[in-house]
Amino acid sequence: MPETTQPYTTAVGRRKTASARIKLTPASKMSITVNGMPADEYFKTKERTSITGDAFRLDDVTGTYEVIARVQGGGISSQAEAVRHAISRALLKGEASLRPSLKKAGLLKRDPRAKERKKPGLLKARKAPQWSKR
């Protein structure tokens, strides 16, 4: 059975409780689509939109790509960082020589910070009820 090559690369990126699944396809024009909407329309602010394209702005990355992302969970900022993580991982799958520059920029590491769980007897994870001596 002959081996078939896919015209795209898939990857998953995560941040907090947000999860992004992307398809990265070489294209003539750069575009990022998130949940069926253009990234600038979905994320609304320029800061969050620019976070998603951080991996493409590295010096070693050449070519233009079309990114189709499905994002769920978390908040809007976490979703933007999850998309960035997924794009970095997809670029790495396509071209292993990008690893040093992606790693130096910190785009391959999943940010492990997440909300701490609430403990019994406390109001929040660490906030205690007001203490009274009598």
pLDDT band of residue 63 (cuts 50, 70, 90) is confident
Both tokens of 65, joined, read 């790509």
Both tokens of 44, joined, read 């609304």
* Three-state DSSP state, 40: helix
Any domain includes 2:
no
Determine the structural domain holding residue 59 and report its residue range: 9-104
What predicted TM-score, i.e. pTM, was given to this entire model?
Answer: 0.87
Any domain includes 89:
yes
Q: Is residue 41 predicted with pLDDT exceeding 60?
A: yes
Any domain includes 27:
yes
Q: Is residue 89 predicted with pLDDT exceeding 60?
A: yes
Q: Which residues of 42-77 are buried (b: 16+ CB within 10 A; e: fewer)?
A: bbeeeebbebbbbbbebeebeeebbbbbbbeebeeb
Which is higher by pLDDT, 4 or 36?
36
Q: Is residue 98 predicted with pLDDT exceeding 70?
A: yes
8-state DSSP, 83: H
Cα 50 to chain centroid distance, Å, stands at 12
CATH of the domain at 25: 3.30.230.10
Any domain includes 127:
no
Q: Give the pLDDT confidence score for residue 59 in this predicted structure.
A: 83
Count of structural domains within the chain: 1
